[in-house]
Amino acid sequence: MIFRQFFEPVTSTYTYLLGCEYTRKAILIDTVASEVDFYIEQLEALDLNLVYTLETHVHADHITGAGDLRDRIGSKGVVHRDAGAMCADLLVTDGVELQVGDIEIKVLHTPGHTNGCTSYLVDDRVFTGDCLLINGCGRTDFQQGDSGVMYDSITQKLFTLPDDTLVYPGHDYKGMTVSTIKQEKALNARLGNNKSREEFIDIMNKLDLPYPKFIDEALPANQSCGQPDKDRGAIIQG
């Protein structure tokens, strides 16, 4: 598998490119609108055809490149059914598997940061968006966030993956690029080392985070896939 991790510094967002060496089909996870020219350059340089852009959720901190990529190179947008982005081409639910060349992508519904959050499991890697971060997790005080639900998503879904599964988050603010399930189970300051649901909820309640910088423009834009658009989602249920 061809694999790249891209970093957008303004919002500290990671975007992932996964490509099949044989069919040259590719996907991008969590694109950023300002980086679309760069993604297209990279796809061309690697001789890859973009089939899907996958969102781990409707972002509040940056605008997705999904709509622009769809218009320019014909990729299809994928998002969870509960994410509130009916403009996507495919609306997926827990357990759905997408096949792109020899890449198998399994959808894991991991709500808590938002109610439409998904993680994507590809072989020994899991792309966790703003659910599980490296030594942290996404905030739960906006967009139907719920700390208890996030605790259940992480402990019952992500922490039950094999220990050596590589964790690729949606963001990192300290320069970390990858972790493992084993490392997060042991060391995650918010819910590692068998912290209880109550302890986790208490930690999240006390974070006192500032209002997200770009939420007022990013949310409505992302609910229309990065651009004003029409309804089009076809639902695939798992």
**Where does this chain bind Fe ion (CB under 5 A)?**
59, 130
Q: CB of residue 5 vs Fe ion: minimum separation in angstroms?
A: 18
Residue nearer to Fe ion on the CB measure, 59 or 70? 59
> Could you tell me whether strands 125-129 and 118-122 are parallel, antiparallel, or unpaired per DSSP bridges?
antiparallel
Kindly state the smallest distance separating residue 69's Cβ from Fe ion, in Å.
19
H or E element that contains 70: helix 66-73
Nearest approach, Cβ of residue 170 and Fe ion (Å): 7
Alpha helix ranges (H) inside 123-214? 147-152, 181-187, 197-205
Name which of 25 and 57 has its Cβ closer to Fe ion: 57
User: Smaller CB distance to Fe ion: residue 20 or 78?
Assistant: 78
Task: Pick between residue 30 and residue 51 the one whose CB is nearest to Fe ion.
Answer: 30
Give me the least distance between CB of 171 and Fe ion, in Å please: 8
Q: CB of residue 212 vs Fe ion: minimum separation in angstroms? A: 8
Residue nearest to Fe ion (CB): 130
Q: Name the nearest CA neighbour of 132 among 85, 182, 96.
A: 182
User: Dihedral of CA 78/160/127/26: which sign?
Assistant: negative
Nearer to Fe ion, 20 or 55 (CB): 55
Surface-to-core class of residue 39, CB atoms within 10 Å of its CB (0-12 exposed, 13-18 middle, 19+ buried): buried
CB of 136 to Fe ion, least distance (A): 12
User: Rounded to an integer, what distance in angstroms lies between the CA atom of residue 200 and that of residue 234?
Assistant: 36
Give the closest residue to 132 by CA, choosing from 186, 191, 78.
191
Give 13 or 179: the residue with its C-beta nearer to Fe ion.
13
End-to-end CA distance of the chain: 25
CB crowding 9-24: b at 16 or more within 10 Å, else e: eebebbbbbbbbeeee
The three-state secondary structure class of 221 is helix
| C-beta closer to Fe ion: residue 59 or 157 | 59
Smallest gap from Cβ 191 to Fe ion, in A, equals 18
The tokens describing 108, both together, are 């894991």
